[in-house]
Amino acid sequence: MDGFVTVVLAAGQGTRMNSSLPKVVHKIFDKAMVSYAVDAAFGAGSKKAIIVTGFKEEIVRSELLGKENIIFSHQDRQLGTGHAASMALPFITAEDDVLILYGDMPLLTKETLKNIHDIHKAANADLTLQSTNVDNPFGYGRIVRKDGLLEKIVEQKDATHKQQEINEINTGLYCFKASALREAILGMNNNNAQNELYLTDAVEILLSKGKKVQATISPNNEEFVGVNSRVELAHATKIMQKRINEKLMISGVTIIDPTTTYISVHTKIGKDTIIMPGTVIEGDCVIGQNCTLGPYAHLRPGTILGDNVRIGNFVETKNATLGTGTKVAHLSYIGDALLGENVNFSCGAITVNYDGKNKHLTKIEDNAFIGCNTNLIAPVEVGKGAFIAAGSTITDNLPPDSFGIARQRQTTKENYIKKT
Ligand code: UD1
Ligand code: MG
């Protein structure tokens, strides 16, 4: 059998986060860390994913709701990564290779997961672990070698001063033969600084039984950041931001300032679209070609833009479809709306989509002109080519080619002297 299953360890609290939430549901931009890990596993061809949960597990489980081929296994007390891995054993059959990774490794790519499995297979190894070299290895398990040959992994808290100088670290990604994983777990004990069962002890245990254990060193250490604190969360977010933005730029999108532009991994953007600084795009947005977004545009989930759309500064969209050539140049909110082509949605105009209980739809047909500071009280429809005067609060549908004005007439009092 060529396949593999993946075990994601996600039962810990993550005390170093100082949070009431489990660590792995903290988000890199708009997606939980554990979801990145699970998506990478399935992207690499994993047959199923066994997620070991424990601390506030209902929150972790709800993050993964709706994904297929997932099995949850409960770890009652967090007795260490080795103990957590043992919780997956009932769901692993003898012929499967087992990829184990931690839920706090959001930057792992599917290519790396596939690669470690290929290396493992090619060598017919019992355990292949992924290592990398980092400048600052503090906090990571160190790879101890003797004459270049793998000997063991030593955790930060158990390492001697000399071992702490080692720069080759355990990334937390492993590929086991199912039988080797069982054997290693049987040999573990908690005789260490943290009184935990360490998964990392598998190296020494299997080597002592004459098994084939190898470490493959990746030159790309950015991918293996393990997020234990919010400082590391911000660091991982920056790496993810760079990765997403570079992919988009290579595909033909101009991003003027990639360091201030945050785009969800789920968003799709067409060629020759220009994104100005300070723009944030969340979720499954689909953006056409040749659009201009920002500066400081905020596109929220469910935004779909045709080609040549202009979204200017301080405009927020959510669950909104805007047709080709439509312009929303400044200071607007468009939520729960369908706008046709070449609509002019002027400065400060907004959809009033929420009545305190329900969301309602605003529909605007092609070539309509929505004047400045218009309130569109949804549900409401504006027909083709209709024109709304600035400052109107529109509560009634407007037929095509009509003119709507809904504001109080100006009263002008001449020679008016203020009372003091
Ligand atoms: C671990 C590794 C270390 C490696 C580093 C990479 C061990 C003993 N150490 O350290 O060698 O360099 O990751 O980032 O494995 N978990 C459980 N149940 C438990 C304990 C942990 O499910 O009982 C989960 C956590 O939710 C977390 C993952 O396992 O997602 C790793 O635990 P963490 O505490 O982050 O380990 P590190 O100290 O980072
Ligand atoms: Mg960690």
Residue 140 DSSP one-character state:
S
Q: In the predicted model, what is the mean pLDDT of residues 131-153?
A: 97
| CA 130 to ligand 1 centroid distance, Å | 14
User: Does residue 332's CB lie within 6 angstroms of at least one atom of ligand 1?
Assistant: no
Q: How far is the CA of 298 from the centre of ligand 1 (A)?
A: 36
CB 6 within 8 A of CB 67: no
Pairing of strands 298-299, 316-322: parallel
Sign of the Cα pseudo-torsion (132, 154, 174, 18, in order): negative
Per-residue pLDDT band for 417 (boundaries 50, 70, 90) equals confident
Residue 1 has pLDDT above 70, yes or no: no
Cis upstream peptide for 295 (omega within 30°) = yes
C-alpha 178 – ligand 2 centre gap (Å)? 23
pTM given for the model: 0.94
Summarised one tens digit per residue, pLDDT across range 222-263 is: 999 999 999 999 999 999 999 999 999 999 999 999 999 999
Ligand 1 pocket residue status of 102, Cβ below 6 Å: yes
Ligand nearest to the CA of 144: 1
Residue with tokens 């988009």: 248
Q: Which of 235, 266, 330, 360 is catalytic?
A: 330
Residues 207 and 107 sit within 8 Å (Cβ to Cβ): no
Tens-digit pLDDT profile for residues 10-59:
999 999 999 999 999 999 999 999 999 999 999 999 999 999 999 999 99
Query: Does residue 420 surpass a pLDDT of 80?
Result: no
The answer to whether 330 is a known catalytic residue is yes
* Ligand 1 pocket residue status of 199, Cβ below 6 Å: yes
> Cα dist. 250→4, 110, 220 in Å?
32, 19, 20
pLDDT band at 418 (very low <50, low <70, confident <90, very high): confident
Query: How far does the centroid of ligand 2 lie from the alpha carbon of residue 49, in Å?
Result: 19
Dihedral Cα 249, 250, 252, 253, nearest 10 deg: -10
88 in ligand 1 pocket by Cβ < 6 Å? Answer: no
Average pLDDT, the chain: 97
Above pLDDT 70, what percent of the chain? 100
Asked whether 172 lines ligand 1 (CB < 6 A), one says yes
What order do you get walking across the sheet with 254-255 strand by strand?
Answer: 254-255, 274-275, 292-293, 310-313, 327-330, 344-345, 369-370, 387-388, 403-404
- What pLDDT was estimated at residue 282? 98
292 with 274: CB under 8 angstroms? yes
